[in-house]
Structure 1
Amino acid sequence: MATEADSPDKASAQSMLDELSIVIDQLTRATINDKGIFGCALRACVAKSFEFTSLAHQKPPPPHGFFITATLRGICEDLITFSFLNDLSEVDRVEALHLLMSTNIAEGINAQSAFFKAMRPWQPVVQPPKIEKDTEQRLRVLSAKLGWSGRQAWPTVWYMAKATNLHDLYSYLYSTTSKWVHFSPQILLRMGWGGTLEDVGDHTEWVFSTKNFTQYYVEFNRTYSLFLLLRLFRGPAASLLPDGAAKIIDALESFLNEPLRWPEAVTYEELNIDGPKSFMRILLRAAHESPKENGNDPEPAA
């Protein structure tokens, strides 16, 4: 069952994104001579996040939201990595990107070579390059500056998330989107719709399709794509925004926080459980925000 998304008209979000697109068009243009490799990579990260957010908010929404949800994981990891790299000097950031890019390409070519050798041995492909022996050691030197001493040369995403206080976000989106890129009985079986609330059992005939739960995927992608974009602009990409864009970011943030309910990874509906009604959600929000309005932060949970 789709979520009972309690949210305002998303056309207003799209209009704000359209307004922001003018700014994005300018800040995502750069040369390495002018902005350096780190500056270019950060701008590419912004372009990726913004374009996915715009896609998710278009009307009508993308017809197969199920298949694009996994993209959120990559956007989340971009946010975490650029936040993590902020603690390095500009010289070290550039070296880290160079080394990571070389490592990624080498890994890709090695995997590609093995695949084509097994499946299409007659097809010429790029052969594995000779990697400089000190690449791993240079990565270890950089990661040590950021507190990493693990077995791998570069920190895990989980470590980077903890180091940047983004571990709760990463855990949630990793858990959620991993279901799209790994085997998940939950995802497969909730594709089945059929029967009625009063008569569901082993005798029920289910119709399986990724088109079921469509509205859920629409709301999930819209909510968390916008959330990640705003965190990017509040974090590692903050310096890229001109002063005039601050009002748009504030407006988008208000829009994002307006709904009483964000899509959850596991919903009341799919478990056939009655969730809190809108009135109860309003009371819960009011109780949470009341200490803030009085100038006092709520006491942390024990």
Structure 2
Amino acid sequence: MLYSANIFARFCSGKLLPLADWGAAAVDKAMLENDQGPLWEPPKAEKPELSLPERIALVRELLAALDIVMGDISRTHFTGGLKEQSYDIVRRAAIIRQREGLTAILSLCDTGSAAFGVCLLRPAYEEMLWLEYLSKHSDVANELLHLMGQASIKEHMRVQMDYLKRDGMHAVGFTMKFAKLFIASAPAATAGIKAIGAKLGWRRESDKPSVAHIAQQVGRKDEYDYIYEATSRFVHFSPHELMRRAWGDHETMHISSDHFAKYWALFSLHWGLRIFLNSIRAVHDIFPDDSAKRESYDKITEIIQSGILPPVPIITEAELDWSYMKRKT
């Protein structure tokens, strides 16, 4: 399956993600370097730039190759109970949802609506962090996930009951008696989570660690801060994110998501793939034991982690009011 790795090498090449195409007229060179050397080299002048449709086509090729590598993970033997197989189910479901998310991002890119694709990155990134974290604590993963699932659904029931009241609950098929009995068993699940959390070093009496803590434990705190900042404006009210859509001159202004469509497409594709591949690596043992395929997705992950992909800026020079900045400096 070297075909798969070759596709990804093309995707990761400097010419495929030129910073100049992101709407930024210039990027600080220090931003493109780390302790191991430059993360990005300017494309050779003789190599033609790829258009966004060509890049999207390459991503589709890559995903098709990855589908072959991974095989069908949507079906598995259910030999025990949820408590015994929660970890396996959650891992498979996370990979499948992320794969579906990438398909959605590609469709949004095709229609010029890539801004909404960025909204899919935040849950995918948190899934990746948890998959990596649980791989380090697989001895308690089944029990922990089972208890977290129980606690979550009971909390959903409580919130639903508070909002819908008696008539509303009856309308959706629940009696108040059942709902109250169901919710009453929640403390047992919470107590079980706290007991496991104490062993794992969570904050005292915590029934769920912060995502920042999980990121710290898997060595991704700086990356998490970056992704959190980049995606927050897509899922919360953000004047900056809304005002990005307004472009013009001193006489007229046009407000549209089209102005940043290409930037959003590259951002969502870059991070969507990166998150997906890191998630694959975290759960590699669920895939068919085929040495040729294993070498392929290991190679793909190696490429994306090698420093070839540049950091995608979360703010660009083009959107700053440089005339104001120059007056201040």
Query: TM-score, normalised on structure 1?
Result: 0.75
Structure 2 counterpart of 1:32, from 78, 85, 89? 78
Task: Say if 1:192 and 1:59 are closer, same or farther in 2 by CA, change over 3 A.
Answer: closer
Listed as ranges, the matches of 1:24-63 within 5 Å are 24-33=70-79, 36-57=85-106, 61-63=110-112
Superimposed CA distance per residue, residues 136-190 of structure 1 (whole angstroms, 9 cap, x where no aligned partner): 2211111112111345312111111101112122111111111111111110111
Instruction: Work out the CA distance in 2 between the residues paired with 1:87 and 1:256.
Output: 20
Q: Taking every aligned residue pair, what percent have the same amino acid on both sides? A: 22
How many residues end up aligned between the 2 structures? Answer: 265
Listed as ranges, the matches of 1:72-221 within 5 Å are 72-90=121-139, 92-117=140-165, 123-124=171-172, 126=174, 127=179, 129=182, 130-195=184-249, 200=250, 204-221=251-268
Instruction: Work out the CA distance in 1 between the residues paired with 2:239 and 2:245.
Output: 10
Structure 1 equivalent of residue 65 of structure 2: 19
**Residues 226 and 256, structure 1, Cα contact 8 Å, conserved in 2:** no
Letter in 1 for 2:64: D
Instruction: Work out the CA distance in 1 between the residues paired with 2:161 and 2:263.
Output: 40
Task: Say if 1:231 and 1:252 are closer, same or farther in 2 by CA, change over 3 A.
Answer: closer
The Cα of 1:30 is off from its aligned counterpart by: 1.4
Deviates further, 55-64 or 73-82:
55-64
Which structure has the highest helix share of the two? 2
Structure 2 equivalent of residue 283 of structure 1: none
**Residues 65 and 221, structure 1, Cα contact 8 Å, conserved in 2:** yes
Letter in 1 for 2:197: S
Instruction: Work out the CA distance in 2 between the residues paired with 1:12 and 1:116.
Output: 47
**What do you get for the CA RMSD once the two structures are aligned?**
3.2
Partner SS for 1:148: coil
Structure 1 equivalent of residue 117 of structure 2: 68
Instruction: Work out the CA distance in 1 between the residues paired with 2:65 and 2:233.
Output: 34
Query: TM-score, normalised on structure 2?
Result: 0.70
Instruction: Work out the CA distance in 2 between the residues paired with 1:172 and 1:123.
Output: 44
Structure 1 equivalent of residue 31 of structure 2: none
**Residues 148 and 189, structure 2, Cα contact 8 Å, conserved in 1:** no
Give unmatched runs, 5+ long, in structure 1. Answer: 274-302
Superimposed CA distance per residue, residues 64-109 of structure 1 (whole angstroms, 9 cap, x where no aligned partner): 221231110101111111211223244x211111111111112222
The Cα of 1:224 is off from its aligned counterpart by: 0.1
Letter in 2 for 1:237: V
Superimposed CA distance per residue, residues 22-80 of structure 1 (whole angstroms, 9 cap, x where no aligned partner): 33342332133279221121011111122223443469624322123111010111111
**Residues 133 and 217, structure 2, Cα contact 8 Å, conserved in 1:** yes
Task: Say if 1:55 and 1:122 are closer, same or farther in 2 by CA, change over 3 A.
Answer: closer
Structure 2 equivalent of residue 263 of structure 1: 312
Structure 1 counterpart of 2:278, from 231, 256, 260? 231
**Residues 176 and 265, structure 1, Cα contact 8 Å, conserved in 2:** yes
Partner SS for 1:69: helix
Instruction: Work out the CA distance in 2 between the residues paired with 1:119 and 1:215.
Output: 48
The Cα of 1:113 is off from its aligned counterpart by: 2.4
Structure 1 equivalent of residue 4 of structure 2: none
Structure 2 equivalent of residue 278 of structure 1: none
Instruction: Work out the CA distance in 1 between the residues paired with 2:23 and 2:309.
Output: 10
